[in-house]
Amino acid sequence: MAPQLKLFFDRRVIDEIGRDLRGVGVRTGTFEERAANGLDALELTGRARHIMLAMRDVLPADPPEALALLVASFGPPHATDELVGAGMEPFKYLPHALYIAEFGLDHPDEALVACEAITRRFTAEYCVRPYVERHPKKTWAALKRWTKSPDPHVRRLVSEGLRPRLPWAPRLRSLQQDPRPALVLLEALKDDPSTLVRRSVANHLGDIAKDHPDLAVEVARRWLVDATPERRKLVAYGLRHPIKQGHMGALAALGHDGAAIRIEGFTVPARVALGDDAPFAFDVLSTGKQPQSLVIDVVVHFVKASGKTAPKVFKVARRVVAPRERVSLCGRIRTAVMTTRTHHPGEHVIDVQINGQRFAAGRFELFAV
C-alpha cells in the first residue's frame, strides 16, 4: 500500500474520531492513546482495523446501541453526486464501516440503517456484503428500497454492493453463479440520472460479462432497444471484456459484426531486447461495399516461464471506415518489468484482431541482454 495512503490514519484522524464520539455522549477515556499505540507498524486496512478495535472498546457493549451512536457521530453527507475534490477525508469512516461489517451481523435491522448512513459519507459496498449472505431476505428488501432513494450514493450502493467481482472484496459466489437476482435491481438503475450510479451499473454488467458473457449480451441487447446515448455508453462499457476477447455476440450487439477487410504491411522488429519496446505498424484496408464499424486490437502471445504462450489483447483503435478506405495504425508492445506481468525470452507471435476475427500478422524474438 502506498505510504501516503496508509499515513492518512494518523493522530489527527484519531483525535477527530474521538471528538465525534464524545459529541454524541461516548466516554472515550484513553481511546486516542490506545488507537495510536502500535499504528506505525501497520498498513492502511490494518490501521483502520486497529482504530476500529479501540473504538469498539469505548462503545457500548450492546451493538444496536453502539451502531446508533456511530450513526449519530457521522458528519455531513457527501456534498455532490461525485467524490471529486473530497480527497482522502471520507476514509475517516473506514473504521466505522469495519465495525458495521463485523459487530452488527447479529443485528441486521440496525446495521443496514448504518450502511445506508455511512454510504452517504464514505462507502458501504464492503460492509453490506456480509449481510447479503447472512441475512438475504432483510438485505434484499433494503436494497430494493434503496433503488428509490433520493440520494445517488445510496442508489449506487445497490449496484456496487452486489457486484459479484467487487475489487478488493470477497466474491459473492451465489451471484457469481447466478447474477439474475441482481439484474432485477439493475433494471431500475440503468437510466439513473446520476453518472455515479450508471457507472456502477456498467461495472456490475462488466462483472457479469466475465462469468456469463452470453447473459450479459442478452441483457445488453434488451437495454439497447430505444436506448439513450447514456445507456448506450453504459452498455458499451459493460461489454468491454467480451469485446476485448472477441466475443461475436458482444461485437454484434454494438454494431461491430463482421469485417470485410485486409491487413497489409505489418512491421515489427525481428529482435527486441528484454525491457525495450517493440514498435509495430500496419494498414487496414476496407474491402466492403458499405461503411464498417471496426474494433481493432493487437493480440500478443507472450512467452511464459514454462515456455508455453498466453495471449494478451491490447486495444488499438475503433474506426468507421468507408468502402476501400485505408487506415494506417501503429503502437508499441512494452516488455519492461511490470507488477502485473513478467516477461520471458522467446518468440512472441502477434495477431491483429478486428471485430473478433484474428489475422496472423508477425512475430519477434525477445532476448535477454
Question: pLDDT tens-digit profile of 84-104?
Answer: 667 788 999 999 999 999 999
Query: Given this model, what pLDDT does residue 270 score?
Result: 97
Exposed / middle / buried, residue 357 (Cβ in 10 Å: 0-12, 13-18, 19+):
middle
DSSP, res 79: S
Query: Given this model, what pLDDT does residue 1 score?
Result: 41
C-alpha–C-alpha distance, residues 251 and 187, integer Å: 22
Q: Give buried/exposed letters for 43-76 (b at 16+ CB in 10 A, else e).
A: ebeebbbbbbebbbebbeeebbebbbbbbebbee
CB 197 within 8 A of CB 191: no
CB 164 within 8 A of CB 207: yes
C-alpha–C-alpha distance, residues 26 and 18, integer Å: 9
Using alpha carbons, list the distances in angstroms from residue 80 to 126, 151, 188: 21, 10, 21
Look up the CATH superfamily of 261-367: Immunoglobulins (2.60.40.10)
Exposed / middle / buried, residue 13 (Cβ in 10 Å: 0-12, 13-18, 19+):
buried
Cell of 35: 488507537
Query: Given this model, what pLDDT does residue 84 score?
Result: 67
Are the folds of 59-253 and 261-367 the same?
no
Using alpha carbons, list the distances in angstroms from residue 299 to 182, 265, 312, 367: 33, 17, 6, 20
Written as one letter, the residue type at 126 is Y
C-alpha–C-alpha distance, residues 356 and 358, integer Å: 6
Query: pTM of whole model > 0.95?
Result: no
- Cα Dmax for the chain: 79
> Which CATH number applies to 59-253?
1.25.40.290
Sheet holding 309-321, edge to edge: 271-273, 357-367, 346-354, 292-303, 309-321
CB 141 within 8 A of CB 149: no
Query: Given this model, what pLDDT does residue 85 score?
Result: 64
- The domain segmentation of the chain, as residue ranges, is 59-253, 261-367
Closest among 322, 332, 315 to 243, alpha carbons compared: 315
Cell of 184: 432485477
DSSP, res 206: H
C-alpha–C-alpha distance, residues 265 and 259, integer Å: 18
C-alpha–C-alpha distance, residues 303 and 350, integer Å: 12
Closest among 92, 91, 173, 94 to 129, alpha carbons compared: 173
Output the tens digit of pLDDT for each of the chain's 369 residues.
445 788 899 999 999 999 999 999 999 999 999 999 999 999 999 999 999 999 999 999 999 999 999 999 999 999 888 766 677 889 999 999 999 999 999 999 999 999 999 999 999 999 999 999 999 999 999 999 999 999 999 999 999 999 999 998 999 999 999 999 999 999 999 999 999 999 999 999 999 999 999 999 999 999 999 999 999 999 999 999 999 999 999 999 999 988 899 999 999 999 999 999 999 999 999 999 999 999 999 999 999 999 999 999 999 999 999 999 999 999 999 999 877 788 999 999 999 999 999 999 999 999 998
Sign (positive or negative) of CA dihedral 25, 29, 32, 38: negative
DSSP, res 188: T
Written as one letter, the residue type at 347 is E
